[in-house]
Structure 1
Amino acid sequence: MASQSEFTLTVTIEDLAKMIDMSLLHPTMTDEDVRQGLKLARKYGYGMATACVKPYSIPMAVEELQGSSVLICPVIGFPHGNSTTVVKVFEAQEAVKAGGKEIDMVINVGKALGGDWDYVENEIRQINDAVTKN
């Protein structure tokens, strides 16, 4: 059996910050709340990995995160994944055009729970294809 020391990982605060996604998705967040969250995401110059935002907040995120390493990660089909695939594809394409660099897409939870993995796979593939062609 391995000793405890073999599993110890030492990271700097900067390294740790780059592993964190800042979630700015609460439904009661105002624009000012989102703006303050974006400022926190880039704090100290090393920033977090991503700032997850609702699609309407992408322009604000682009403005606030300009010059930082923090990637803008809009959510698609949020929060329950119930939109049709066509709607999710459109939403993802618009998010990328607006400045989104990563996509956090909510799969159709009902399809997953029902075991319809072909549907889930097809939806992911369509969205991935749509945004990687931009």
Structure 2
Amino acid sequence: MRSIPVLSDLTAESLADFLRALPGVDAVGLEARAADLGTRSIKTSSKSWAIDTIIKLIDLTTLEGADTPGKVRTLVSKALVPDARDLTTPRVAAVCVYGDMVAIAVEALGDMHGDPDQGKVSVAAVATAFPSGRSSLAIKIADTQEAVAAGADEIDMVIDRGAFLAGDWWTVFQQIVAVKEACRRADGTHAHLKVILETGELVTYDNVRKASWLAMLAGGDFIKTSTGKVAPAATLPVTLLMLEAVRDWYAATGQRIGVKPAGGIKTTKDAIKYLVVVAETVGEEWLVPHLFRFGASSLLNDVLLQRQKLASGHYSSADYVTLD
């Protein structure tokens, strides 16, 4: 890997040169490795750990036009107490809502609003004309600033895929930089910025690699696969490719960047495959809320069901990755 350019030194030309010089993706090899990792076994003794880890890494999400304050409060209640029958069940990492619902979520969380690495629950807000990303930069910045002012801990922004696919990488880069600055709070701290690539619209693995590096170069704290509104959403090969980019970034800079697959991950069995891919690609140290998330609305229900089965001894190996 070539040396990583400094953000302040980048120009449209140097950014393009860097992205064009990235090695092409061996699609067959990538998919074969993802398929192999997806069949790796976990030890029977690790099932409970895997289930609780998945719960701790979920961004519990509602992103519908029909969302109401009542629905958001219900979502927060589920985030805080996922299983009222078993209060040992861990909390999720965050609730993810539209910007106009941030204040509702913050109020509902009360004293439990905070750092998920410390057992509390963050509030993530989608912004920048989610899910299309098609608005002026001024609107994207205002959208972000409003959510941060309302108490959002994390901003999930969407890139302008039209500009990216047209080869206007500099515009996409500048917009991420501007949105990152809009995440700044009055006290000088920043809300974490998750950059949604919408990989289902990027067409090729090479584009996913380029977009991942572009987002990291621009200052993204996380790279995220999808909005969940476009098919395909998260896939194992795409997530593996993004994790490899994060791994290489860390090797070159010493900075850890998070990854968030979102959309389409609905079962415990599938989620465990992602845990294996993370552990095998970047290491288990990434399996913490500030470095890995699942964006999901229905995954939690299946994970809780499997947790209950495990506690009662009525689980089936078919519910998991092949077990030792």
Question: Once the 2 structures are TM-superposed, how far is the Cα of residue 28 of structure 1 from its aligned partner?
Answer: 2.0
Cα distance in 1 for partners of 2:68, 2:185 equals 33
2:122 alignment counterpart: 71
1:8 and 2:42 matched: yes
TM-score, normalised on structure 2?
A: 0.38
Superposed CA RMSD in Å reads 2.5
1:93 and 2:164 matched: no
Question: Once the 2 structures are TM-superposed, how far is the Cα of residue 14 of structure 1 from its aligned partner?
Answer: 3.5
2:103 alignment counterpart: 59
* 1:5–1:100 Cα change, 3 Å: same
Please list the CA deviations of residues 17-60 of structure 1 after superposition, one character each: whole Å capped at 9, or x if unmatched. Answer: 12111111111223222221121122157321111111111111
* 1:66–1:121 Cα change, 3 Å: same
Runs of 4+ in 1 over 4 A off after TM superposition: 4-7
1:32 and 2:47 matched: no
Cα distance in 1 for partners of 2:148, 2:178 equals 14
SS of the aligned residue for 1:53 comes to: strand
Kept in 1: contact 2:60–2:92 (CA 8 A): yes
Task: Choose which of 88, 96, 106 in structure 1 pairs with 2:158.
Answer: 106
Unaligned runs of 5+ in 1: none
Unaligned runs of 5+ in 2: 1-35, 82-86, 113-119, 187-324
> In structure 1, what residue type is equivalent to 2:108?
E
Which segment is superposed worse, 55-64 or 21-30? 21-30
> In structure 2, what residue type is equivalent to 1:48?
V
1:81 and 2:133 matched: yes
> In structure 2, what residue type is equivalent to 1:34?
V
Cα distance in 2 for partners of 1:133, 1:29 equals 27
Question: Once the 2 structures are TM-superposed, how far is the Cα of residue 133 of structure 1 from its aligned partner?
Answer: 5.1
TM-score, normalised on structure 1?
A: 0.85
Report which of the two structures shows the higher radius of gyration computed on alpha carbons.
2
Q: Tell me the matched-pair count.
A: 133
Task: Choose which of 174, 183, 187 in structure 2 pairs with 1:131.
Answer: 183
Please list the CA deviations of residues 70-93 of structure 1 after superposition, one character each: whole Å capped at 9, or x if unmatched. Answer: 110111021211111111111111
SS of the aligned residue for 1:74 comes to: strand
Which segment is superposed worse, 4-13 or 27-36? 4-13
